[in-house]
Structure 1
């Protein structure tokens, strides 16, 4: 089966530091892959390559079996790859609808639209439909995000990514600093995205969340892939050992 999104033999250096060393990584449609590793393992660099923020020094990128090259994050976005970074990019003073359409606002169709006036009613309606489609229940799309719980805010951020993506969603620490209930809400949104056929890359230091929601786990250490196996083959202890290298002791 052809992978939905794949990098082969990717390398990246920053001066004399090797951040990625011949890394292979693949993601299938309808699959959640956990990307884990200690600080300095290369996760952030690989995410930047996958999201189009950085060009690799070597290696190849494939989307739907077609070789691709990203010159900027915009190229990856246009190809259907959405990335949600740890800070989520949520504007707390704006409404849920305004956040869903942030950077993609709908202008009014009348004369006022020519002067930059937004069609807020249309954005509220479409935002509600999109969030409902991906399984997110928010009290009202007209509500300011500042009035939502931490889990709801992150769910809205993920919902925005799901709403605009059409292939791949990259989630960088989406459950960081969330309580158990709020994290559970976010993990459920990830399951909904998987059920709708998206490929999801889940980066997290919270290993129980990784083991709970992923189908497969790729472990990076010192810029190299040291493990890539079904999540069911790991225990919390064996996964920690793969990350730290203690299993080789």
Structure 2
């Protein structure tokens, strides 16, 4: 698969199709604290939904609801148009919702292929207690290659890879184990420009392969580069909901930075 950073010129692939995942007026409270209020969004196949927000905006809570870790207090979560309540992250994963968290949940000293199959190892048919290391090595190489990831040696410790490479291995792993929706939690937050570019290319590659991608980020430039649809959260509220052709990078950046509040502050400071 060849990834490209070019913006799509054709109409968005979702059209009028039923979203893979949809939230309708979702709220989440913890006692007297309201973490999310009236959140509505759609995740379509072959599209990237960028969810932006500063620290404390509610992005983590939103991830946990879609990933099955928490359940919403109010509102609906629909999967393929059907109301759904996930009982656990395993339940969400069984239904094709995979989350790649920022810490990646890898064992740095283990080789790449062991991390790729961590918790879901292939065992030899003749000796069920023994791992089929050759099969796992071959599968890891094949699946990474499908994502366009050139990693000739899967025996190296995954901790020796760059941050961008580790993110891409985690994405390929989620795809291999049946994900239809990929939730990526701040995948470029701790990366430099070059490594961020690598991850953004593989996000585009996943989109072009027909996956629905939820891209959580606080970087409007990265979101606008690959996103088809944008939702901006601010203190648990939905501040913005628009498609790529409805907003410029400048406007998205301004809204992310505070919009009217930033303008008011600038005026107050006399600049």
User: Structure 1, residues 199-241: CA drift from partner, whole Å, max 9, x if none?
Assistant: 0000111221111111111111121211111234334442233
Distance 1:128 1:135 in 2: 11
Question: Equivalent residues in 2 for 1:70-219 (5 A)?
Answer: 70-111=86-127, 113=128, 116-219=129-232
Match of 2:40 among 8, 11, 24: 24
User: Structure 1, residues 47-67: CA drift from partner, whole Å, max 9, x if none?
Assistant: 110000101111111111121
Question: Where in structure 1 do 4 or more consecutive aligned residues deviate above 6 Å?
Answer: none
Q: TM-score by structure 2 length?
A: 0.86
- The residue matched to 1:61 in structure 2 has which SS? strand
User: Structure 1, residues 134-171: CA drift from partner, whole Å, max 9, x if none?
Assistant: 22221222222122222212211122122223310000
Q: Is 1:3 aligned to residue 19 of structure 2?
A: yes
* Superposition RMSD in Å: 1.5
Unaligned residue ranges in structure 1 (runs of 5+): none
Distance 2:112 2:213 in 1: 23
Distance 2:172 2:224 in 1: 22
Distance 1:17 1:245 in 2: 23
Question: Equivalent residues in 2 for 1:29-40 (5 A)?
Answer: 29-40=45-56
Q: TM-score by structure 1 length?
A: 0.93
Asked if the contact 2:58/2:235 (under 8 Å) is kept, the reply is yes
Between the two proteins, the alignment pairs up a number of residues equal to: 246
Unaligned residue ranges in structure 2 (runs of 5+): 1-16, 265-271
- The residue matched to 1:225 in structure 2 has which SS? strand
Distance 1:68 1:58 in 2: 13
